[in-house]
Amino acid sequence: MKIRDRYAPSPTGLQHIGGVRTALFNYLFAQSQGGAFILRLEDTDRTRFDAAFVQNLYDTFTWLGFRWDEGPDRGGPVGPYIQSERISLYQKHAQALVQQGLAYYCFCSAERLEALREEQAKNHAQETGYDRHCRTLSPDEGAARIAAGEKGVIRLKIPLGETTRFNDQLLGAIEWKNDAVTPDPVLLKSDGFPTYHLANVVDDHLMGISHVLRAQEWLPSTPLHVIMYRLFGWDHPVFCHLPMVMGQDGKKLSKRHGATSIDEFRRQGYLSEALINYVALLGASYQEGKDLYTLEELGARFSLDKLNKAPAVFDYQKLAWYNGQYIRMKSDAALAALALPYAVEAGLFGEPGTAPDPAQCETFTAAMVLIKERVSLLKEIPDKIRYLFADPPIPAPAEFIPKKLDLQRTRELLAIGRDMVEPLAALPDPEAEAFIKERAVQEGVKLGDLMMPLRVALTGSRVSPPLFGTIRLLGPARSLERLDRALATCRSVAFP
């Protein structure tokens, strides 16, 4: 059997983590089996459709770095791949069910249906939903009323008193009493557009979909779909309902937990490789003792047998850890290219939106080695190195004073630091470290106490990127200027 699976989003919102996880698992399963991964746009909800969401879909997967084998933008043998371009197919199949007595026209008005809902709610009725009022209409009577201009829908005639059974690849045997299925759901609306259920089943059959991998929230719809396949006389695909993605509070992942749309993750400075790696692990396992995978490795190792039944918990701290790992794998030039838009937006080179000049660009790239081990997100980078591009505010004198020392000793340490700037700027890290350690011994002071006032004077902060690299990037002249400012500030305060 040729494996064919699909991602079938409705372009009514931005791409989010749950949808991307579904798409990724379908892609990886197709890759692992030498099959085909199809994109289908389910755009029949015209009230919420927006072309901007279609563009967001394409942009998202371009950024993530994996694509479909067949789809609206690539074509394929079973197109079109946009449901609004397949309306006649759905109408034809709905009519076929009516002619066989397996579906029927319904002419109940919106007012009658609303009154029915209110009555059921008032009486706390055990059975809710449509009351099958038009179920006994003959196909000929229904067709005649439609031909006379009356508005109607086509409803599926659910076989009553039966049980629908199917096997889920992950959850096992599923049984669902037909009487618990949505009562005679609408297949074709009065405007001729299909409902989700009709379009989904017809398209999966006509497109030769062998496996449907989708979120467990769709499980209650599956008995209805299985009934429809059987009434059409078709074999249904293999179903695999993926574990839910939850927040750490045990509730379905949503905006209240933090970023969920891929655009938000991009804005915060996550790398596509990190997001793919982490999302691929939400409900699946691959190889014991290994955390980092390329997309190709994930595709080679993915297996439906290694999916977990339990919900997956989305851990933002764990994702940040993955992101930090991938940041550290980047070359300085590659990381600088990825971080540059964030620096421009943050106004690192002047006003927000100002691009760097060649000298600033060189400094920016050289600074990557200083912060690569200290950031988890690209958006953190500008503030970590802002002191390289503009003099930081001079801290209060108390900020310069190491623990257990006083202001007088701090002034002396700053003066010593001033003497060391030129040698430190000329030495590579190992030799610079040996030089400053020797000087600390000579002065009878702890190494950390000697370095801290120097660090604060140069960067404006007690916590900063490595000191020796900072001195080299600032250069002796700018470093001395900042030390002189620091000394002047500390000397402006009288001794107690």
| Active site (catalytic) residues | 255
Asked if residue 135 lies in contact with residue 142, where contact means CB atoms within 8 angstroms, the answer is no
Burial of residue 141, with CB atoms counted within 10 A of its CB: 0-12 exposed, 13-18 middle, 19 or more buried: middle
* Alpha-carbon 453 to chain mean position: 43
Distance CA 373, CA 325 (A): 9
Q: Long-range contacts made by residues 415-423, C-beta under 8 angstroms, separation at least 24?
A: 415/487, 416/443, 416/450, 417/450, 417/453, 417/454, 417/457, 417/483, 418/480, 418/483, 418/484, 418/487, 420/454, 421/471, 421/476, 421/479, 421/480, 421/483, 422/476
Q: Are strands 153-156 and 186-188 parallel, antiparallel or unpaired?
A: antiparallel
Residue 86 phi, psi dihedral angles, 5° rounding: -120, 20
Residues in the chain: 496
78 CB-side CA count, 13 A: 19
